[in-house]
Structure formats: C-alpha cells, structure tokens
Structure 1
C-alpha cells in the first residue's frame, strides 16, 4: 500500500474516531443537562416534601418502628399519603388486611398518572419503565408531565433527575425524622407536613390554564370538599376520578365544537366559491 494512501486512511480513521468521541461526549453532556434540569424542576417540591417525610419518620418511631425500619420503609415504599394513613391505622391497631386495602385504595390515583404517562414511556425497556413507575409520585408527576410531552429525546433523563432528587430527599428526611422522633415524640404534632401541600399547590395551579383543566380542578375540588368526611381518604380518590371524568367530558365537548366550527367554515367557504363562480358566469 502506498505510504500516502496509508497516511490518508490513518487520518480518516482518526477523524472518524474523534467525531464519534465528540458525539458520545455531546450525548453525555445532554443527558447530564436534562438530569440537572429535572433536579431543578423538583427542587421546590423537595423543600415542601422534606417536613412531610420528616413527620412520617417521627410518627413511625411512635408506633414502634426502629430508625432502620422507618428509613427502609421509605426507601422501598416511597408513598407519603399511604404511609401516613398506614401509620394512623397501625396506631389504631387495625388488621393487616385493612391496612393493605386502605393503602391500595389511596394509591389508586397513581393509575391515572400511569395512564397519562404511558404514551411517553412506551418506547423504553421494561426495567426502565419499572424504575420510572416506582418514582411516579404526585410531586414527580406534577414536575415532569409537561417536559414528558414536549421532549422526546432526553425526557427520561429529566424524569430520572426529578424522581431521584425527590426520592433522595424523602429518604433522608425520613431518616432524620426518625432520629428526632426517637428523642422528641411530640414533634409530630406541629403540623409541618402542610409545607408539602403548599408547595404542591404552587406547582399545580400555574398549569391549570385550559377549559378542560379548569373544569377538572373545580369539579375535583368541590367533590373533595363534599366527601372530605369519608374514612381512609376515599373522598380524595373519588374526587380525583370525578375531576378526570369531568375534564374528559369537557375535552370531548370542545373537540365536537371545534369540529362543528370547522365543518361550518368549510360550508361557508364552498357557498362563497359558488357565489363567486356564478357571478363570473353572469348568472347573478
């Protein structure tokens, strides 16, 4: 092989390798960027979720759990509302069947989240979908749903950043709450858990813009208030389902109106065309 040709081949190989390295590095940088964006998006909810998880950790000590058991519980369960209700049932000496059934009902709202997210997760592998579904909490859903709709290429990194940030905060706060709860049991009576509710409201309200979202929010709020007296947070589940149904019906109504307007506009356009054509032909 001529020396010049050999040198050219070596140069081309070097350029190709450098391009591949640069492309790989660019991909890594983009993944890191969206991971950090997810962390930034969930940060306000981490601030609100910290005291809630702290209270869960403190109360878990009062029902007889050790610090290790309390922390491992939040490490694997990662469901604040269900954990809080389960602790109340444990305190009242409820049976394990009642605890399981109640927490199952409370977590039914996650089926709605899953249905909403399914379209954006379907192309990922089963292990990735399983990991993402584990972290599909109220807060993670609120912080990521808009990005999941808009960004196809890197949305899973955004989601993992938000999920990982909130999960880490949840476990650490629970651990600290368990430590403090073992020394100051009365800390659970200070109502610090409302901070998460306030932060969640601050995240959700700006997203309620369309008629469908407004309808769903109003119906769910009214239903939740009317059914707030039901045990085991059943009113919350019913309110969520009712709100989703109302929003769905409004969406169908809006779609039908738009279709009717489109047909009407098309008919008016056809009538105008016929009128102009007839005028040009001297009929009118």
Structure 2
C-alpha cells in the first residue's frame, strides 16, 4: 500500500495536476475561509464545525444547511437540502465510473470523498476520453484532489477558530465562484458546449426560486438535454483534412 501511494505522488501527472489547481487554489481558499466563519457564526460549536468541515467536504451543501441549522429546522429538512444540493455529484459519478469503475471499493469510496466540482472539470479537460486502467489518470486525479482538499480545509479551519475576527461582509466566497466560472469557460470550445452552457445559465436563473437549491439540478438537466439535442439535430461538421 505504501509503495503504491509513493508511486502515485511521485508520478509526473500528480505534480502536473497539483500545479494546475494552484491557479484556482486562492479562490477555493477564500470560499473555505468564509464557510468556516459562517459555520461558527451560525451557532455551531468549534468541534461540530470541524467535524462538519472534515466529514461533509462540500461547500455548497454546507452553506445551504447553515441557515437551517440556525433556524432550528427539523433534521429531515437539513438532510433533504444537503441531498438535493449534492445530487449533481451523482451525475459526476456516472462519468467517473468510466475511468475508475475497475478500482476496488475502498479506492472508489476515497475518490468519491475527495472528488469536487473543480477537480471534475479539470480532469475531464485533461482526459476527455475514458480509458480504464490508464496509468496516468489516477495520479492526475489525486494531485488535483489533494491540493483542492488542502486549499479548502486549511482556510476553513482557520475561519472556524478565527470566526470572531473575520467579518462575513468581506464576501470572499465570491472568489471561489469566479474560479469555477473561469475554469468552466475554458472548456467551452465548440458550438454545442457554448449552447449547453448558455441553456444551463438561463435555466439556473429561471429556476432560482425553487427550494433546496433545485435550480442547480434543473440547470444540469437542461444543459444535458440541450447538448444531446444539438448532437442529434445539429452535429458539428468535421473540418476537411488536407
């Protein structure tokens, strides 16, 4: 086990992926800092805030659950909200399975815990075609996932312990949104991708009033449907080769 771990972090793709994620690490850190501060200011004790940060590791569901915790909402509402916000990871996992479905259960569970939105986007940009058992895919995943985890957890823990000194009015969480937006835009390389992205944006705004952040799921479903329709009815023309 130790030899395989050492081989993974020594792999060139591990370093390449970590280096790529460094560019957006500041945005992730800002988001994590604000989430850590918000957890304590919402009424969670420091031990519970630490437990939530380390176990949940999902910023959007954490932020969605905090107002419910502060208002004393029933536990089933809290769980339902977190479940709905994180349903997008079910879609991500279907794609991950094409790459890591051959791994043992424990490794797949580890991949599921550390997987994040930005890692998914970066990974799919690096490996657009699934090839199971490719030796460079897993090191690449762990390089970016490790850096993302550290970039989130360290500022979140700082925010938990320094909640009284960091005002939430700073609005640092928006930096994380900008980091995700910048990386997503880099993937829009053809007409179908741009149309799907535009449909997702419109659907998310139109469905913003839905409860439990269901507008996220509406946007994902609309983007997938638009992409499939575009590929079926208006396929991209292949450029003539000289």
Please indicate, yes or no, whether the TM-score normalized by the shorter chain is above 0.5: yes
SS at match of 2:186: helix
Question: What per-residue deviation string (whole Å, max 9, x for no partner) do you get for residues 14-54 of structure 1?
Answer: xxxxxxxxxx9xx9488431111111121223211111111
Q: Distance in 1 between matches of 2:229 and 2:199?
A: 12
- State the Cα distance separating 1:215 from its structure 2 match: 1.9
In structure 2, the gaps of 5 or more residues are 238-242
Q: Is the 8 A contact 2:9 2:139 kept in 1?
A: no
Question: Is residue 217 of structure 1 aligned with residue 186 of structure 2?
Answer: no
1:47 to 18, 26, 29: 26
2:138 to 130, 145, 156: 156
Q: Distance in 1 between matches of 2:115 and 2:215?
A: 21
Q: Distance in 2 between matches of 1:30 and 1:141?
A: 19
SS at match of 1:149: coil
Q: Is the 8 A contact 1:120 1:149 kept in 2?
A: no
1:1-284 to structure 2, matched below 5 A, reads: 28=7, 31-149=10-128, 152-181=134-163, 183-184=164-165, 187-254=167-234
Q: Distance in 2 between matches of 1:54 and 1:97?
A: 27
Q: Is the 8 A contact 1:117 1:145 kept in 2?
A: no
SS at match of 1:207: coil
- State the Cα distance separating 1:162 from its structure 2 match: 0.6
When residues 113 and 29 of structure 1 are mapped into structure 2, their CA distance, relative to the original with a 3 A threshold, is closer
- State the Cα distance separating 1:137 from its structure 2 match: 1.4
Structure with greater helix percent: 1
- State the Cα distance separating 1:69 from its structure 2 match: 2.3
Residue 17 of structure 1 corresponds to which residue in structure 2?
none
- State the Cα distance separating 1:80 from its structure 2 match: 0.4
- State the Cα distance separating 1:83 from its structure 2 match: 0.3
So what's the TM-score if we normalise by structure 2?
0.87
Q: Distance in 2 between matches of 1:71 and 1:29?
A: 28
- State the Cα distance separating 1:158 from its structure 2 match: 0.6
- State the Cα distance separating 1:254 from its structure 2 match: 4.4
In structure 1, the gaps of 5 or more residues are 1-23, 259-284
Q: Distance in 1 between matches of 2:90 and 2:120?
A: 12
Aligned residues: 231
SS at match of 1:228: coil
Q: Which has the larger radius of gyration?
A: 1
So what's the TM-score if we normalise by structure 1?
0.75
Question: What per-residue deviation string (whole Å, max 9, x for no partner) do you get for residues 228-275 of structure 1?
Answer: 2222211122111111111122123345x87xxxxxxxxxxxxxxxxx
When residues 154 and 188 of structure 1 are mapped into structure 2, their CA distance, relative to the original with a 3 A threshold, is same
Q: Distance in 1 between matches of 2:8 and 2:101?
A: 24
Q: Distance in 1 between matches of 2:50 and 2:151?
A: 12
Ranges of 4+ aligned residues in structure 1 off by more than 4 Å = none
